[in-house]
Amino acid sequence: MISARTRSVAETQELAGALAELARPGDLLLLAGDLGAGKTAFAQGFGRGLGVEGLITSPTFTLAREYDGTRLRLHHLDVYRLETMAEVFDVGLPELLDEDAVVLVEWGDAIAPAVPADFLEIRLSLGDADDERLLELRSVGPSWAGRTRALHTVLEPWTTA
């Protein structure tokens, strides 16, 4: 597990953008954390890192949004309002994972049992200061585990002991 700290929304977005440099087609990222912990800010920075231009907003009511990036396409999901695991399949998550895109899921810990065991989990929590965020990144499965050294390198400016 990698622990990191950001001290502003802009820094959270910058960290996410740096992480996006490591993204590959078919990657799955699950964002977890309380309401207001910075999941959407993270998604915005990650999308910018993939070359998405324009506003990235939380798809809370639409469940899913697609953004074309200059490097990779981004499928941004928010599963907060899903009531059953079966709805994960109604959203079309398995098909999204097969495309040449990255899938980023807000409230992803809620559906972790229903997704393939190959993802990067990013858990965000509130820090002591108003805009401080603590991030814990954990790779599950072979895809992100094979990039552990690169993750440490890219996240080094924000890494905590």
The per-residue b/e assignment along 5-30, b for 16 or more CB within 10 angstroms, e otherwise, is bbeebebbbbbbbbbbebbeebbbbb
Q: Is the pLDDT of residue 161 over 50?
A: yes
Percent of the chain residues topping a pLDDT of 70: 83
* Mean pLDDT calculated for residue range 9-17: 96
Q: Which residues pair with 119 in a beta bridge?
A: 140
Dihedral sign, Cα of residue 95, residue 44, residue 41, residue 2: positive
Strands 73-78 and 119-126: unpaired
**CA 17 vs CA 2, 12, 46, 82, 154: distances in Å:** 16, 9, 4, 28, 10
Residue 113: predicted pLDDT: 75
Q: Tell me which residue of 97, 93, 128 sits closest to 107, measured CA to CA.
A: 93
pLDDT tens figures, 35-47: 888 889 999 999 9
pLDDT tens figures, 67-119: 898 999 998 887 755 554 445 555 555 555 656 889 898 877 877 777 778 89
Question: SS3 for 67?
Answer: strand
Owning domain of residue 9: 2-158
The tally of domains found in the chain comes to 1
Entry pTM: 0.87
Q: Tell me which residue of 105, 45, 107, 39 sits closest to 77, measured CA to CA.
A: 105
Which CATH number goes with the domain that contains 145?
3.40.50.300
Q: Please, what is the average pLDDT of the chain? A: 84
Percent of the chain residues topping a pLDDT of 90: 52
